[in-house]
Amino acid sequence: MPFTFISRCLSAICVLIMLLWSRDLFTMVGTRGLLDPNLAASLTEVLPLSIYNWISFDSLKADSAILILINFVAVIGAVLFWKPRSVLASIGLYLTFVCFKHTVALFAYGVYEFIQLGLFYVMIANLAAYAFRKSEGDALKAERMVGWFFRIHIAMAYVFAGACKAIGPQWWNGESVWRALSRSDSTGQRWFNFEWTGQYPLLLQFVGISVFLIELTYPLAFVRRLRPYIVSGMILMHFGTIVTQGLTVFGFTMISLNAYFWLESKELDSRPK
């Protein structure tokens, strides 16, 4: 059930991202795009699935390949949404999404990392369920193990995110929250103007400290009694980033991962050992 949920959420987000990309695809990438293929290709040695590893970046074939790639991601994403436990669709979506991410690496931001993370565990869970399909008990045990690793990975990511914030003074004194809220509206997505928050430094300080504290203490979500507070706090924080910073896709991806963490934990708690 939890893997069905996260599989559907992530595949829907992949389809959405491809739709958003399709609007500006050739303004952004390809032979006539903002990201010069030479620049994109210079990174390919550490990005094994970038299409520039296989296709000459100055040919029109590169444009066609990118177009085919985003269509593949969208179509396979739609298939996985329809059949969330399909082994082939989950492998296909993981490979095509990572291929896309590596090809547009210089544009990619945090959300691409977390989608890759989620799709990886969905793929492994589906593979495990398939490999142990003859014994329901073994399949459950294998999936349960994947679920543990997935939740530990999410918690590890939050701990490091919190630790990196906590070592500088700016999240302690509210400066970073002020900057995050009142930076220029370069994305065109900000729904409200939050410059007025500069009049309330204590509030900003409280928010700043709360943000890294909830990230640092995320592993406490493994404790059943504390889980509602930690996971709801985190969902609230991500909802805040959607409203205040316009990080819509990122926010919904992280809310999905948190909802998965909650569902998986509940399932494991209620299942006989």
Residues 19-48 that bind another protein (CB under 8 A): 20-21, 23-24, 27-28, 31-36, 38-39, 45-48
270 binds another protein (CB under 8 A): no
262 binds another protein (CB under 8 A): no
What are the residues whose beta carbons fall under 8 Å from the beta carbon of 153, sequence distance 6 or more? 117, 121
Residues 219-248 that bind another protein (CB under 8 A): 246-248
Question: How far, in Å, CA of 35 to CA of 50, rounded?
Answer: 14
Least distance to another protein, CB of residue 225, Å: 26
Least distance to another protein, CB of residue 73, Å: 15
202 binds another protein (CB under 8 A): no
Helix, strand, coil abundance in the chain, percent, nearest 5: 75, 0, 25
What are the residues whose beta carbons fall under 8 Å from the beta carbon of 137, sequence distance 6 or more? none
Q: Which of 4, 8, 49, 210 binds another protein (CB under 8 A)?
A: 49
Least distance to another protein, CB of residue 170, Å: 4
- Tokens 């999905």 belong to residue: 256
52 binds another protein (CB under 8 A): no
168 binds another protein (CB under 8 A): yes
User: Degrees (nearest 5) of the Cα angle 95, 39, 118?
Assistant: 25
175 binds another protein (CB under 8 A): yes
The values of phi and psi at residue 202, to 5°, are -65, -35
13 binds another protein (CB under 8 A): no
Least distance to another protein, CB of residue 253, Å: 12
Residues 101-160 that bind another protein (CB under 8 A): 102, 104, 106-110, 113, 116-117, 120, 124, 128, 131-132, 138, 141-142, 145-146, 149, 152-153, 156-158, 160
What are the residues whose beta carbons fall under 8 Å from the beta carbon of 190, sequence distance 6 or more? 244, 245, 246
Distant-in-sequence contacts of 44-52, Cβ < 8 A, 24+ apart: 44/102, 47/102, 47/105, 48/102, 49/95, 49/98, 49/99, 49/101, 49/102, 49/103, 50/99, 50/102, 50/103, 50/105, 51/99, 51/103, 52/103
**Of the two residues 47 and 255, which places its CB atom closer to another protein in the complex?**
47
Q: Which of 179, 206, 223, 232 binds another protein (CB under 8 A)?
A: 179
Least distance to another protein, CB of residue 168, Å: 3
77 binds another protein (CB under 8 A): no
**For residues 29 and 66, is the Cβ–Cβ distance under 8 A?**
yes
Q: How far is CA 39 from CA 31, 60, 90, in A?
A: 11, 16, 30
**Of the two residues 185 and 228, which places its CB atom closer to another protein in the complex?**
185
67 binds another protein (CB under 8 A): no
**Of the two residues 31 and 86, which places its CB atom closer to another protein in the complex?**
31
Burial class (CB in 10 A: 0-12, 13-18, 19+), 139: middle
Q: Which range binds another protein by CB under 8 A, 4-12, 57-65, 99-107, 263-271?
A: 99-107
